[in-house]
Structure 1
Amino acid sequence: MFTGIVQSQAEVIAIISKNNAIRLKVSLENSLIENLEVGASVAINGVCLTAVEFGHLAASSSFIIFDVIDETLRVSNLADIELGSKVNVERSLKIGDEIGGHMLSGHVHAQAIITNRVDSPDNCTISFTIAPEYQKYIFAKGFISINGISLTLGAEVGDSFSVHLIPETLARTNLQYACVGDKVNIEIDQQTMTIVQTIERMKLNSHS
């Protein structure tokens, strides 16, 4: 499990294709491999991946290697990353950790496309569109995860939705580089999905 509070950004330093999968190597701060074990879960752009190897690159940097299977590439923007790309990183939640965002599984439901971006000195508003089958889960002021970042939806939702980002969020995450046309990973809040699906089943049963 994760909280959607991004701990750092990592740079993609190697991408090795093999069959329909890739082996991904990222460079990041030394602190992010402390007490890490092979087999541990790490969220990369909100995707729960398994660390298969890690170690130190230099005095101030380390690396982690992940295997990314074809299904993960199909549903997430990890299929589009390139050498030098910056990805958001969050280690898995430990008992006793503060939950500053909301509970995430690291299982991406869909991708959304950025349709607009407006920057001001103290705020950045980014708008997105998402496939119609997921729009029923998008509620004003509800939770959503975008590239692994726990965010609150803006007041206006419909065919599109928006989020408002403070400078700190931009500085800590790769949304600072986001441009119109980019794809982002979306994880819908599980409680919202459960409520909507339960109501749909109740309506269906009432008409049967």
Structure 2
Amino acid sequence: MFTGIVQTQARVDAIEDKNQFRHLRLAVNPLHLQNLEVGASIAINGCCLTVTRFEEQGEQGFAEFDVIDETLRLTNLGRLQQADTVNFERSLTVGRELGGHIVSGHVHCVATVTERNDSANNCSMRLEVPVKWMEYILAKGFVAVDGASLTVGETDENGFWLHLIPETLSVTTLGRVQVGDSLNIEADQQTITTVETVKRVLAKQMAG
């Protein structure tokens, strides 16, 4: 489990592509690898991946992951290129302050950035998602975008707006996002559960 509070950015150091399989090696500050173990879960652009190998000694640390075809198909990890940056979050530790919202690291869909407007103190961008996911994305609700826990702004039939402060833009990769880019989306599980429960109750009432 994660919180959607991105801890740092990592750089794609190497990519090895095989048949329906991708091996990622990410360069990351070794401070973010302390007490890590092989088999641990880390959210990379909001996608829960398992650490297969890591190095934390010296000034530059590394973490390696295997990404299967299903993950490559459903997320933007298949589009990564060497030297790209990604959002990096270690899994939730019990007893620490909980910010953001509970995030599973299971990406539901990929959104496309259709508009971006920057001003002196903030940035607004519109993301378009498959229509079927919009019933779970509500104004003022939560959504994880490339692993960052964010509050939904205005919504429409097939998209929604984000309003980002400078801190979010600097800590995460969202500061470099441009129109046309693809971002991983995880809808709030609590919202999904509520919507699905209401739909089932209404369906039973109509059937009865």
Report the residue type matching 1:49 in the other structure: L
**Number of aligned residues:** 207
Report the residue type matching 1:51 in the other structure: V
1:171 and 1:60 map into 2 onto residues whose CA distance is 22
1:157 and 1:46 map into 2 onto residues whose CA distance is 24
1:26 and 1:52 map into 2 onto residues whose CA distance is 12
Alignment of 1:1-40 (within 5 A): 1-40=1-40
Report the residue type matching 1:43 in the other structure: A
Q: CA shift at 1:156, angstroms?
A: 3.9
1:71 matched residue in structure 2:
70
Is residue 21–residue 69 contact of structure 1 (8 Å, CA) maintained in 2?
Answer: yes
Q: CA shift at 1:159, angstroms?
A: 2.3
2:158 and 2:85 map into 1 onto residues whose CA distance is 29
1:63 and 1:153 map into 2 onto residues whose CA distance is 33
1:116 matched residue in structure 2:
115
Q: CA shift at 1:18, angstroms?
A: 1.8
Task: Tell me the SS of whatever aligns to 1:207.
Answer: helix
Alignment of 1:1-208 (within 5 A): 1-56=1-56, 59-208=58-207
Task: Tell me the SS of whatever aligns to 2:70.
Answer: helix
1:97 and 1:13 map into 2 onto residues whose CA distance is 31
Is residue 24–residue 65 contact of structure 2 (8 Å, CA) maintained in 1?
Answer: yes
2:150 and 2:139 map into 1 onto residues whose CA distance is 12
1:163 and 1:140 map into 2 onto residues whose CA distance is 10
The list of structure 1 runs, each at least 4 consecutive aligned residues, that deviate by more than 2 angstroms after superposition, is 155-159
Is residue 131–residue 157 contact of structure 2 (8 Å, CA) maintained in 1?
Answer: no
Is residue 3–residue 98 contact of structure 2 (8 Å, CA) maintained in 1?
Answer: yes
Is residue 113–residue 130 contact of structure 1 (8 Å, CA) maintained in 2?
Answer: yes
Report the residue type matching 2:93 in the other structure: K
Range 158-167 or range 177-186, more displaced: 158-167
Q: TM-score, normalised by structure 2?
A: 0.97
Q: Percent identity?
A: 48
Q: CA shift at 1:157, angstroms?
A: 3.7
1:167 and 1:121 map into 2 onto residues whose CA distance is 9
RMSD of aligned Cα (Å)? 0.9
Task: Tell me the SS of whatever aligns to 1:74.
Answer: helix
Superposed CA deviations along residues 115-153 of structure 1, whole A, max 9, x for unmatched, are 000001100001011001101111110000000000000
Superposed CA deviations along residues 13-32 of structure 1, whole A, max 9, x for unmatched, are 11001220100000000111
**Structure 1 gaps, min length 5:** none
